[in-house]
Amino acid sequence: MRPILFHLGPIPIAAHGALILLGVLAAAIVFRHEARRRHVWGDERILWIVAGTLLGGAIGAKLATAWHYVAVTGDASLVGLLVRGGRSILGGLAGAYVGAVATKRVVGYERRTGDLFAPAVALGMAIGRVGCLLSEPPGTPTTLPWAIRLTAAQVAALPACRGACAAGVPLHPSFVYEIAFHLAAFAVLWRVRDRGRVEGDLFKGYLLAYAVFRFLVEFVRGNEVVWYGLTRSQLFLVPSTALLAWYFLRRTPAASLSTVPSA
């Protein structure tokens, strides 16, 4: 059972879900601010794009872990996948991107929306990762002075905490690293949000930076190694990072903006 943040009457509110919801709300506020500032908030198609993005993110987050859940538990039921199955941040980001692109095509919105989403997503991710910090195994053992140590009660509340993840063992606070990254990214994106030469590049740049960072931080996350010392997340990130890097590298100063694919 995931750690409980507080009780709403008789209803226990899990830390993970509550902070993800808080992150979504914070992201929505930032997105609305940016949409109003850029004078696109009055277009109802924007609301459909937001809905498609959220739906795509929710589906992607579940699908990314569905096969692993079925392989481990043998439970292929819809209830099992939705209630007891895991969620993947990387899958959620990929699904959200696909959801935004698909919805824009359906509603006929031609402008790129990545710059609207970039600061909002960074802030939402920072807040949501606090929920992960409170409810998931932190990382691999370390001798660094900022290591965190779990109590026996905390270990008992984390079913996935096994192996080196034990009471009193100094561990990397890997989610603290992620929170710091996303807060720094939000600050940078907020500062440079009007300086992009190509509309939509702000979000792609954020995704590329996060992909590189996440690939590196996976080495101290303690996730299962599945192939040549790499985790499942790293195997997903290798082609994803390559595609994002290729997008930026293939552009030249003389390239026509009309050849830049929609985002």
For the segment 210-226, the average pLDDT, to the nearest whole number, is 92
For the segment 62-91, the average pLDDT, to the nearest whole number, is 68
Q: What is the residue whose two structure tokens read 């992009």? A: 196
Q: What DSSP line would sit under 78-144, residue for residue?
A: HHIIIIIS---HHHHHHHHHHHHHHHHHHHT--S--HHHHHHHHHHHHHHHHHHHHHHS---SB--S
pLDDT, tens only, 105-153: 999 998 889 899 999 999 999 999 998 888 888 999 999 999 999 888 8
pLDDT at 130: 92
- What's the pTM value of the predicted model, to 2 decimals? 0.85
pLDDT at 257: 43
Rounded to the nearest 5 degrees, what angle is found at the Cα of 156, between the Cα atoms of 153 and 157?
90
Q: Which residue has the higher pLDDT, 184 or 201?
A: 184
Question: Is pLDDT above 80 for 163?
Answer: no
Among residues 33, 56, 62, the alpha carbon closest in space to that of 104 is found at 56
pLDDT at 194: 85
Question: Is pLDDT above 60 for 178?
Answer: yes
Q: What is the residue whose two structure tokens read 């100094």? A: 170
- Four-residue CA torsion sign, 139, 56, 6, 176: positive
Whether residue 200 contacts residue 217, with contact meaning beta carbons closer than 8 Å, is answered with no
Question: Is pLDDT above 50 for 8?
Answer: yes
Question: Is pLDDT above 50 for 256?
Answer: no
What's the token pair of residue 173? Answer: 């606070």
Sorted by where each begins, the domain ranges of the chain are: 41-110, 111-244
Question: Is pLDDT above 80 for 195?
Answer: yes
Q: Which residue has the higher pLDDT, 72 or 159?
A: 159
pLDDT at 3: 63
Q: Which residue has the higher pLDDT, 74 or 199?
A: 199
pLDDT at 74: 65
What's the token pair of residue 97? Answer: 């991107």
Q: Which backbone phi and psi does 240 adopt, to 5 degrees?
A: -65, -45
pLDDT at 155: 85
pLDDT at 10: 66
Among residues 61, 38, 45, the alpha carbon closest in space to that of 120 is found at 38
- Model confidence at 167, pLDDT cuts 50, 70, 90, reads confident
Give percent above pLDDT 90 in the chain.
49
For the segment 197-218, the average pLDDT, to the nearest whole number, is 91
pLDDT at 144: 94
Question: Is pLDDT above 90 for 102?
Answer: yes
